[in-house]
Amino acid sequence: MKFDTIIIGGGLAGLTAGISLQQAGIHTAIISSGQNALHFFSGIFESSETCRERLIRLFSTAGIRVQDIPGYHLMPMGTFREAGLSLEDVASFPEKKIAERALIVNFMGFHDFFSSFLAEGLEKEGTACRIRFIRLPEMEHLRQSPSEMRSVNIARVLDECWEKAVADIRVLHKDEDLIILPQVFGLKDASVPEKIASALPAHVVFVGTMPPSVPGIRTQMKLKRRFEVLGGTFLMGDEVTSAALHEGVVSSVTTRNLDSVRLFADHFILASGGYFSKGLVATPNRIVEPLFGLDVFQASDRNQWYRTDFFQDQPYMDFGVRTDTSLHALKDGVPMKNLYAIGSVLGNTRKDDFGTAAGLAVSTAFAVADAIKESQKEQLP
Amino acid sequence: MKLQEYTASAHNFEECMKCTICTAYCPVVPVNPRYPGPKQAGPDAERLRLKDPYFFNQALKYCLNCKRCEVVCPSGVKVADIIQSARIRYDHTPPKLRDRILANTDFMGKLARPFAPIVNGVTGMNLTKTVLDATLAIDRHRTFPKYSGQSFEGWLKRHAKEQAKYERQVAYFHGCYVNYNNPQLGKDLVKVMNAIGIGVQLLEKEKCCGVALISNGMSKQATKNAEHNIAALRKAVDKGLTVLATSSTCTFTMRDEYPELLKVDNSAVRDSLLLATRYIYQLLASGKATLDFRPDYHARIAYHTPCHLEKLGWGIFSYELLKMIPGVEFTLLDSSCCGIAGTYGFKKENYEASQAIGKPLFDQIRSVNPDVVACDCETCKWQIEMSTGYPVKHPISILAEAIR
């Protein structure tokens, strides 16, 4: 089976690259071994100034609204962070005193939304807070097992009955100028948060919960759909088992599901993620990239991998696949001719060039998609 | 020292890091509050069940075994296998009469075939449906698939000589559905294979793959069928034959459920057992065979990927094959469960959940408004036809119509 480009990994980096390529008519397949870190996405793209307009455009074609309003984001633990490019779901405020009085509403038994931390953080900045809980009969079955009171389960219930939650919140609301709710609305339908906001008699904002991230999952579904509508092939739940390499060129890969059917392509993009997604694997003494055996930047002494103070920056998070400046992956010190690496598999090593996390994913995805588009053009007579 | 290999947990359950992604994609969770969800029913409760079987929960029967949890798991945990294995190991409730009737597709087919016109007439009657609903709890909305008066096996035996004339041969695992309900699909496969110069033969003797036996708590009988089928496949494979199947679920069951759930070793035949669309796609794509398509063929086709085909990862072969037909306007439907899950949707207690699960798919089909829905699974076909009114055809049947 032959494609123009094969992308290994179906997360934010893989999908962004896939959509860009497919938009340019480059036939692309994405191989994705299970779901990805978008399911844990805070909704904030760090340091992606270089591709702001492009990102907003690409996401809007997929039906995802991205905003860039200066000020501060309110974080799940009641802290503030300087605002930047983010999903529309993430609230931003011009100053840290976000209201005179805020009503924080949570669902009874939902422990992944930290209303007390939020109140403490907000009160420090001058916003008086009142915390109230609601319970809906539709949610009672979740409460039988405490481990099932999770954001996505709640969101799936609320997709069907969010209006009932709104009615309860109206009863609780007194004179507050702001209502704060957890991000558990609109998993299927992104317009629900907006509808809730217009149905309540105060300004309404939604604040992040512990993973899984409802806006993140919605983003994943919409990007995948967009990629498929453009004609891309998404192989879900499959994984690369071997690769044919010769003189710095990858010619084909095999997968677990398609076994003897080799997948050929002119270009390959490694977007396989970090440790969680097994794009990087830590063995007792070495960190390896398991699919191609690429060079991985790392401290050779295992004791230098981590700091004992858990809250400090951890060096192992910086480790990742080495590339040249145009993101060709290095193997034995030599750049591969048609294999690029993007996103978290690079580690945080490229902070200065490409930023971190989601910002790294999209900016490297755009850079590589452009390089591939260029080289396809050159091949044409 | 192979510490990691030696300490690997059954179905990888210790790899679970409680991320809940499986539950986020489970089709049952939003429609059935009694189902605890794949994470809870699978790896979470497995830890308790290993301590004491007392913790086994009958609510595990609400799992469709659609495997969507496994397809999305980022950690390679075989969530549905954990749940189904627990049902096999701990659930000793004898299956109800209704479940025995629904699960024994092979036996029921044999029984009904000689009286097909009468049986079809009777099962189609509203009175019968009301009685079955009241006495056996088979939902009144369902209609049993029609039985054919002539079995596919009988038909192919009569044509064995013509088929033997082809130099190249494949064996065909037709399954209960083609044999008793829809022999035409088997005949369509023979037509397409003959058109590319390949003869089709039966296995020495096949039995039901057993998928419905597994899901209805009859794993011992399923294991006997599995052992029998593997021996039958072995004989064909030893003769150098590839074995094709048209049912995605039969294929999936024999390739993956036999070793994972029934502990029946299929390693000698697994790689030789393929879905027909995969085999034909590969021949056409590599230029080793060509088909003579009708120039006047035209159809707007929407393809639905059945859950077990999604798990196999082979949907791509079926829809790429359809796209090769000139005159086809193609839409790939979003991957989403139709809700029937074999015998699950026939049970009265599951009817509402079954229809609610399928709703997003039915809505999308109506909005696409195709001439025909294509799908490799017979039970998806019944469900989609009943719930949307659109005709559903197997890709092989569509191919057979589109060639001269």
Interface test with B, best of A41, A147, A183, A234 (most B CBs within 10 A): A147
Residues A153, B37: C-beta atoms closer than 8 Å: yes
Per-residue pLDDT of A27-36, as tens digits, reads 999 999 988 8
Q: Mapping DSSP to helix (H, G, I), strand (E, B) and coil, where does residue A329 land?
A: strand
Angle at A179 between CA A173 and CA A182, to 5 degrees: 120
Taking the alpha carbons at both ends of chain B, their separation in whole angstroms is: 61
DSSP-derived secondary structure letter, B283: H
Q: Residue A269 in contact with residue A292, Cβ under 8 Å?
A: no
Q: Rounded to a whole number, what is the distance in Å from the CA of B106 to chain A's nearest CA?
A: 29
Place of tokens 């954990």: B82
Residue B44: which pLDDT band, with cuts at 50, 70 and 90?
very high
Number of Cβ atoms within 10 Å of the Cβ of B194 = 15
Residue type, B160: A
Q: Rounded to a whole number, what is the distance in Å from the CA of A206 to chain B's nearest CA?
A: 20
Q: Is A377 left (phi over 0), alpha (psi -120 to 50) or beta?
A: alpha
pLDDT score of A352 more than 80 = no
Nearest CA in chain B to A283: B4
What string of H, E and C letters represents the secondary structure of A67-136?
ECCCCEEECCCCCEEECCCEECCCCEECCCCCCCEEEEEEECCCCCCCHHHHHHHHHHCCCEEEEEEECC
pLDDT score of A380 more than 70 = no
Residue A349: which pLDDT band, with cuts at 50, 70 and 90?
low
Residue A350: which pLDDT band, with cuts at 50, 70 and 90?
low
pLDDT at A271: 97
Better-predicted residue by pLDDT, B132 or A161? A161
Nearest CB partner across the interface for A35, out of B72, B310, B335: B72
Nearest CA in chain B to A233: B316
Q: Residue B197 in contact with residue B236, Cβ under 8 Å?
A: no
- Report whether the peptide linkage leading into residue A212 is cis, meaning its omega lies within 30 degrees of zero: yes
Q: Rounded to a whole number, what is the distance in Å from the CA of A232 to chain B's nearest CA?
A: 11
CA dihedral B398, B400, B401, B404 (to 10 degrees): 150
pLDDT score of A351 more than 60 = no
Cα Rg of chain B, angstroms: 21
Q: What is the CATH number of domain B292-402?
A: 3.40.50
pLDDT score of B399 more than 70 = yes
pLDDT at B332: 94
Chain A residues within 8 A of B275 when measuring between CB atoms? none
Beta-carbon pairs below 8 A across chains A and B = 86
pLDDT score of B388 more than 90 = yes
Residues A212, B21: C-beta atoms closer than 8 Å: yes
CATH superfamily of B3-90: Alpha-helical ferredoxin (1.10.1060.10)
* Structure tokens belonging to residue A154: 């709640």
Interface test with A, best of B21, B62, B66 (most A CBs within 10 A): B21
Q: Which of B326, B230, B321 is nearest to B279 (CA)?
A: B321
A262 touches chain B (CB under 8 A): no
Nearest CB partner across the interface for B23, out of A34, A152, A233: A152
pLDDT at B154: 95
Give the span between the Cα atoms of A219 and A41, in whole angstroms.
Answer: 9
Q: Rounded to a whole number, what is the distance in Å from the CA of B115 to chain A's nearest CA?
A: 42
Q: Which of B123, B148, B183 is nearest to B346 (CA)?
A: B123
Residues A260, B332: C-beta atoms closer than 8 Å: no
Q: Residue B264 in contact with residue B223, Cβ under 8 Å?
A: yes
Residues A237, B335: C-beta atoms closer than 8 Å: no
- Those of residues 319-358 in A touching chain B at CB distance below 8 A are none
Give the span between the Cα atoms of B198 and B202, in whole angstroms.
Answer: 13
Per-residue pLDDT of B16-30, as tens digits, reads 988 889 998 999 988
pLDDT at B1: 57
Per-residue pLDDT of B94-105, as tens digits, reads 998 888 888 888
* Structure tokens belonging to residue A52: 């702001």
Nearest CB partner across the interface for A35, out of B21, B312, B313: B21
Better-predicted residue by pLDDT, B58 or B227? B227
Per-residue pLDDT of A103-127, as tens digits, reads 999 999 899 999 999 999 999 999 9
The set of residues, in sequence order, having a beta carbon less than 8 Å from that of B141 and lying 6+ positions away, is B129, B351, B386
* Domains observed in chain A: 2-62+217-379 (3.50.50.60), 91-207 (3.40.50)
Residue B109 dihedral angles phi and psi, to the nearest 5°: -65, -45
Residues B332, A237: C-beta atoms closer than 8 Å: no
Tell me the pLDDT of chain A averaged across its residues: 92
Give the span between the Cα atoms of B175 and A240, in whole angstroms.
Answer: 32
A150 touches chain B (CB under 8 A): yes
Tell me the pLDDT of chain B averaged across its residues: 93
Q: Which of A335, A371, A340, A367 is nearest to A353 (CA)?
A: A367
Q: Rounded to a whole number, what is the distance in Å from the CA of A357 to chain B's nearest CA?
A: 18
Residues A147, B44: C-beta atoms closer than 8 Å: yes
Residue A8 dihedral angles phi and psi, to the nearest 5°: -100, 105
A147 touches chain B (CB under 8 A): yes
Q: Mapping DSSP to helix (H, G, I), strand (E, B) and coil, where does residue A262 land?
A: coil
Residues B21, A34: C-beta atoms closer than 8 Å: yes
Give the span between the Cα atoms of B328 and B301, in whole angstroms.
Answer: 7
Q: Residue B237 in contact with residue B268, Cβ under 8 Å?
A: yes
A283 touches chain B (CB under 8 A): no
Residues B71, A236: C-beta atoms closer than 8 Å: yes
Angle at B78 between CA B72 and CA B84, to 5 degrees: 120
Nearest CA in chain B to A187: B24
Taking the alpha carbons at both ends of chain A, their separation in whole angstroms is: 25
Give the span between the Cα atoms of B137 and B156, in whole angstroms.
Answer: 37
Chain B residues within 8 A of A236 when measuring between CB atoms? 71-72, 310, 313, 335
pLDDT at B318: 97
CA dihedral B38, B40, B43, B46 (to 10 degrees): -120
Q: Which of A8, A365, A41, A5 is nearest to A219 (CA)?
A: A41
Per-residue pLDDT of A316-341, as tens digits, reads 988 999 999 999 999 999 999 999 99
Residue A47: which pLDDT band, with cuts at 50, 70 and 90?
low
Better-predicted residue by pLDDT, B133 or B157? B157
Q: B47: number of CA atoms within 13 Å, CB side?
A: 9
Residue A183: which pLDDT band, with cuts at 50, 70 and 90?
very high
Domain ranges of chain B: 3-90, 292-402
The residue-averaged pLDDT of A236-243 equals 95
Name the interface residues of B facing A (CB cutoff 8 Å). Answer: 18-21, 23-25, 29-30, 33-34, 36-37, 39-40, 44, 70-76, 271, 278, 282, 285, 310-314, 316, 332, 334-335
Chain B residues within 8 A of A152 when measuring between CB atoms? 20, 23-24
Percent of all residues in chain A with a pLDDT value above 70, rounded to a whole number: 96
pLDDT at A311: 87
Q: Which of A29, A28, A32, A34 is nearest to A240 (CA)?
A: A32
pLDDT at B164: 96
Give the span between the Cα atoms of B229 and B206, in whole angstroms.
Answer: 6
Give the span between the Cα atoms of B239 and A246, in whole angstroms.
Answer: 37
Residue type, B266: N
Q: Which of B380, B378, B362, B358 is nearest to B370 (CA)?
A: B362
Nearest CA in chain B to A231: B332
Q: Which of A222, A156, A18, A154 is nearest to B27 (CA)?
A: A156
Q: A292: number of CA atoms within 13 Å, CB side?
A: 33
Residues A159, B271: C-beta atoms closer than 8 Å: no
Q: Rounded to a whole number, what is the distance in Å from the CA of A228 to chain B's nearest CA?
A: 8
Interface test with A, best of B1, B3, B15, B20 (most A CBs within 10 A): B20
The residue-averaged pLDDT of A151-172 equals 92
Written as one string, the DSSP assignment of A271-307 is ---STTTTSSEE-SS-EE-TTT---EE--SSGGGS--
Residue B231 dihedral angles phi and psi, to the nearest 5°: -65, -40
Residues A237, B72: C-beta atoms closer than 8 Å: yes
pLDDT at B363: 96
Residue A142: which pLDDT band, with cuts at 50, 70 and 90?
confident
Per-residue pLDDT of B170-206, as tens digits, reads 999 999 999 999 999 999 999 999 999 999 999 999 9
pLDDT at B113: 80
Please say whether the dihedral angle defined by the alpha carbons of residues A55, A60, A63 and A69, taken in this order, is positive or negative: positive
Q: Rounded to a whole number, what is the distance in Å from the CA of A156 to chain B's nearest CA?
A: 6
Residues A156, B282: C-beta atoms closer than 8 Å: no
Nearest CB partner across the interface for B29, out of A36, A156, A260: A156
Q: Rounded to a whole number, what is the distance in Å from the CA of B312 to chain A's nearest CA?
A: 6
pLDDT at B10: 85
pLDDT score of A207 more than 90 = yes
Chain A residues within 8 A of B1 when measuring between CB atoms? none
